[in-house]
């Protein structure tokens, strides 16, 4: 995603992509949310459309995040100062 592009055109591009290749577009959106949560896992276009495997995928993401140690964005604990 280009930070200098207009939000309107970016949204329109996503909606166009969603119409043409729904699996790939949804995978891109899910991966964006995962990255925003600090998760380095990702899904592909097949996994994002596997509605029966959603619970297992979420369990895998949760377990993966439990193993990650990182500094929080904000903490008054002296450990992070």
pLDDT at 1 over 80: no
Decide if 69 is inside a domain: no
Averaged pLDDT of the chain = 81
Q: How far apart are CA 18 and CA 29, in angstroms?
A: 10
Interval 17-21 mean pLDDT = 94
Q: What is the pLDDT of residues 21-58, one digit of tens each?
A: 999 999 999 998 888 877 778 899 998 888 898 889 88
pLDDT, residue 29, reads: 93
- Which positions ≥6 away from 18 have C-beta within 8 Å? 25, 26
The string of DSSP letters for 57-70 reads HHHHHHHHHHT---
Decide if 34 is inside a domain: yes
Decide if 71 is inside a domain: no
Decide if 52 is inside a domain: yes
The domain of 53 spans: 13-64
Which tokens go with 32?
Answer: 């964006």
């Amino acid at each position: 995603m280009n930070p200098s592009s207009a939000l309107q055109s970016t949204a329109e591009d996503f909606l166009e992509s969603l119409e043409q290749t729904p699996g790939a577009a949804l995978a891109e959106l899910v991966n964006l949310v995962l990255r925003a949560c600090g998760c380095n896992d990702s899904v592909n276009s097949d996994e994002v459309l596997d509605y029966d495997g959603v619970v297992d995928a979420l369990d895998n993401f949760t377990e993966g995040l439990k193993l990650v140690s990182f500094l929080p964005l904000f903490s008054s604990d002296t450990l992070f100062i």
